[in-house]
Amino acid sequence: MEELNLWEKFIGHLNTINRHKRLVMEHCFKAGLYKQGLLHDMSKYSPVEFIAGVKYYQGYRSPNAAQKENAGYSKAWLHHKGRNKHHMEYWIDYSIDPTKGMTGMEMPVKYVVEMFCDRVAACKVYKGDEYTDSSALEYYKRGHHKYMIHENSDKLLCKLLTMLAKKGEEYTFAYIRKKVL
């Protein structure tokens, strides 16, 4: 693949985050989470996240992965997950049980739903024409063994991703509005 110049990376990254943010907003609105839809991922426009996003932009995966490979960690990701409650990593803390160490805390339901919307939108952006309603579930299952997420938050997210894969968006968003929120 040909190396992109800085302008192409800038435009590509800006278009990617704008498209992702728009899709998450549409999904959050379908779920009834209007404020979260409007405010979703605003930190991506902050200098620490945006500059790294441009520098490591490739167009087919998150720039944070490339930054981790290059630097050993992603300052952009650490900034992002620490400011956005829809990420399970935001909710990692020491367990009340001192024998357990770090663990996933239970997420408020509205953030699990926003995480669902975020994952579906990310799959749509990165998979493009190859996206199907089962894409987000397949992606989640591939990494599930290494996630630190509370059992109840995990069950709800898996239930929604499975429902999307089997019954589609219209049914799933109606279920979220009527039964989950």
Mean pLDDT by 10 residues, the chain (181 residues): 89 97 98 98 98 95 95 98 98 93 97 98 95 98 95 98 98 98 96
Q: Structural domain tally of the chain? A: 1
- What contacts 107, CB < 8 A, 6 or more positions away? 85, 88, 91, 115, 149, 150, 153
| Strand pairing report for 92-94 and 102-104 | antiparallel
- Please indicate, yes or no, if residue 75 is contained in any of the structural domains: yes
pTM to 2 decimal places = 0.95
Q: List, in sequence order, every residue forming a beta bridge with 15; answer none if it has no partner.
A: none
- Please indicate, yes or no, if residue 150 is contained in any of the structural domains: yes
- Please indicate, yes or no, if residue 1 is contained in any of the structural domains: no
- Which range marks the domain in which residue 171 is found? 6-180
- Please indicate, yes or no, if residue 129 is contained in any of the structural domains: yes
pLDDT of residue 1: 56
pLDDT of residue 167: 98
- Please indicate, yes or no, if residue 144 is contained in any of the structural domains: yes
- Please indicate, yes or no, if residue 130 is contained in any of the structural domains: yes
